[in-house]
Structure 1
């Protein structure tokens, strides 16, 4: 398929114009015109680029790309090495941040819900970025939910709260959304899941009486980009491979 065709399809499918994001969404680095092999990954690290090149990728699609607001804009050091590898080998880079978090089918929040058997029934926070719902009937306590996270995401979560607490309303938002815990509390959750934890998060959880699960930024955001890559491969009959460059954060 054509690079421009893919860029247009993804832009429309993920509705990128509706978001006020911290980076440009869509085609970030222009490579060859035709795409037969697509590699997906969480972050456009040099390790991912090198692994994609080994597979003969024509394009790479990630959740965490480049050109973040407030970054040093010079093409030096790590940025130079990454961009040089892409440009020399004529490989395109597509990146989708908030649009991939939000999408109802391919989004990180939607895919995390599928991994954990959560049933979404609402949203909270700015632009409805956070999701609300309930767990399956087999998971009844916070401790059981934490165990399920470890089994499905292959990452032991940090649990702030009482493992024996009964589950009620659950809120979740992948990645570094620990700062949305106040919005989750206002939305009436008894448990909130995200990727990371900050010092104030602990006190907010304890003093509000809810439980908080920090499940890993990378661990919670593996699944959206995989689902999107599989969709593209099926729709346009191209090869797709997800490469997981492990990150303990």
Structure 2
């Protein structure tokens, strides 16, 4: 079955509420391809590897979390950007990208989806006083050591995380997928035993150690694989389309 690209886009916009969220890039249709859609390929980032795989899979739409046209980037269509856009345009493939709307969504968002993968019960926002902080806070069914939780993360995500181990058993967890290491202070203020994100900065380690809070950096890419899959599944089911998630591994 095929549907109009405009219909797919309208439903994605409605479902995610993307127009209400200020962001660092345009959300939604970033590159327009053929007018009819029957197959969606999703991935974390619209890299050349993903685009080449989408061409091989005969995709009509590439759906990603990390798209193009970020604030402050060079707007010139040269080099890597030219090659990527040329691949999409030459093959008449549309690019749909959702950044913050796909982090915060209560059903298919990266943060709630990661919680489901790691068996964390979501309790609410990491910082209720500042909704620009997109992280969440939750709890484990049973307390465990930081090392045991890190092993769970490794088993689920398929990569060894960076662990800074505190002295407390892990009961309350704060997390923000991707590059959310800057929210560790909000997590500490919220009284978590462990804060998890994708990346680490030099100062993140000191904050964790000096506040005796465990910290895990599990990979920007690895922590953000699940939201775009869930959104692709939702759209495919809604319109009886084909959906294929393609993981292009990234060590960061």
TM-score bin (small chain):
over 0.9
User: Aligned partners of 2:163 and 2:34: how far apart in 1?
Assistant: 46
Q: Which runs of 5+ in 1 are unaligned?
A: none
**3-state SS in 1 of match to 2:81:** helix
- Written as runs of structure 1 = structure 2, the 5 A alignment for 1:96-135 is 96-125=98-127, 126-127=130-131, 128-135=133-140
The structure with more strand, counted as a fraction of residues: 2
C-alpha displacement of 1:207: 0.9
Corresponding residue number in structure 1 for 2:226: 223
C-alpha displacement of 1:189: 1.0
**3-state SS in 1 of match to 2:160:** coil
User: Aligned partners of 1:89 and 1:3: how far apart in 2?
Assistant: 15
User: Aligned partners of 1:229 and 1:136: how far apart in 2?
Assistant: 29
Point out 4+ residue stretches in structure 1 off by more than 6 angstroms.
none
Corresponding residue number in structure 1 for 2:199: 196
C-alpha displacement of 1:184: 1.0
TM-score (normalizing by structure 1): 0.97
Q: Which runs of 5+ in 2 are unaligned?
A: none
Match of 2:178 among 175, 187, 192: 175
Across the aligned residues of Structure 1 and Structure 2, the Cα RMSD in angstroms comes to 1.0
User: Aligned partners of 2:217 and 2:176: how far apart in 1?
Assistant: 10
Q: Deviations over 1:93-144 (max 9, x none)?
A: 000000001111101001100100000011124425110000132x511111
C-alpha displacement of 1:183: 1.1
